[in-house]
């Protein structure tokens, strides 16, 4: 009996060695959030009730202003955009428009919530994106500009996806 099991395992192993493996790692595929995040920020709770605002399972909220016509950016892409970023109280903390030039950066080089929001906007599209603090700068904030545990708000237009 033992010899029969060993023989079976030997033949099974030989047949698997010759089998083609068709697995390819794709860095653009992200795992979906298994459970929706429970939003506790009063600002985001109220904002999510506004008409046209979609809340993604991660807690990122998006409102499409112009649909766009092209593809959606992926994590391996570089995007050229215009944006204005502000805090919930209306304080602008950054703006490519104020600098007078589009911003170009890799999708993988920004805070997770910004990348997730952009991945839902087509090239040529314009949207407003609300990012919960845990997908922004979190408990540390960012220098003197963005306080800890702060929701971020962006209005973005995607001009090019490379």
pLDDT of residue 8: 44
Domain for residue 83, yes or no? yes
Residue-wise pLDDT tens digits, 25-82: 344 444 444 566 777 888 998 999 999 999 999 999 999 999 999 899 999 999 999 9
* Count: domains in the chain: 1
Q: Yes or no: say if 76 and 28 are a contact pair by the CB < 8 Å rule.
A: yes
Residues 6+ apart with CB under 8 A from 129: 60, 61, 62, 113, 114, 117, 118, 121, 153, 154, 155, 156
Model confidence band, residue 1 (pLDDT cutoffs 50, 70, 90)? low
pLDDT of residue 37: 75
Domain for residue 111, yes or no? yes
How many CB atoms are closer than 10 A to CB 144? Answer: 7
pLDDT of residue 32: 45
pLDDT of residue 12: 43
Model confidence band, residue 14 (pLDDT cutoffs 50, 70, 90)? very low
Distance of CA 68 to the CA centre of its chain: 18
Residue-wise pLDDT tens digits, 98-156: 999 999 999 999 999 999 999 999 999 999 999 999 999 999 999 889 999 999 999 99
Domain for residue 129, yes or no? yes
Domain for residue 136, yes or no? yes
pLDDT of residue 80: 97
Domain for residue 1, yes or no? no
Domain for residue 22, yes or no? no
Domain that holds residue 141: 35-161
Domain for residue 28, yes or no? no
Q: Yes or no: say if 159 and 104 are a contact pair by the CB < 8 Å rule.
A: no
Domain for residue 48, yes or no? yes
CATH code of the domain in which 60 resides: 3.10.50.40
pLDDT of residue 13: 45
pTM over 0.75: yes
């Amino acid at each position: 009996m033992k010899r029969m099991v060993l023989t079976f395992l030997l033949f099974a192993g030989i047949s698997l060695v010759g089998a083609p493996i068709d697995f390819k790692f794709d860095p653009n595929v992200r795992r979906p959030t298994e459970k929706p995040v429970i939003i506790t920020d009063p600002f985001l709770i109220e904002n999510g009730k506004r008409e046209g605002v979609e809340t993604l399972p991660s807690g990122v909220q998006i409102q499409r202003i112009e649909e766009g016509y092209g593809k959606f950016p992926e994590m391996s892409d570089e995007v050229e955009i215009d944006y204005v970023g502000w805090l919930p109280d209306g304080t602008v903390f950054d703006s490519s428009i104020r600098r007078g030039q589009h911003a170009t950066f890799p999708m993988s080089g920004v805070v997770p919530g910004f990348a997730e929001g952009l991945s839902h906007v087509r090239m040529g599209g314009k949207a407003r994106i609300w990012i919960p603090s845990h997908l922004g700068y979190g408990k540390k904030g960012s220098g003197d500009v963005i306080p800890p545990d702060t929701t971020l708000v962006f209005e973005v237009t995607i001009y090019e996806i490379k």
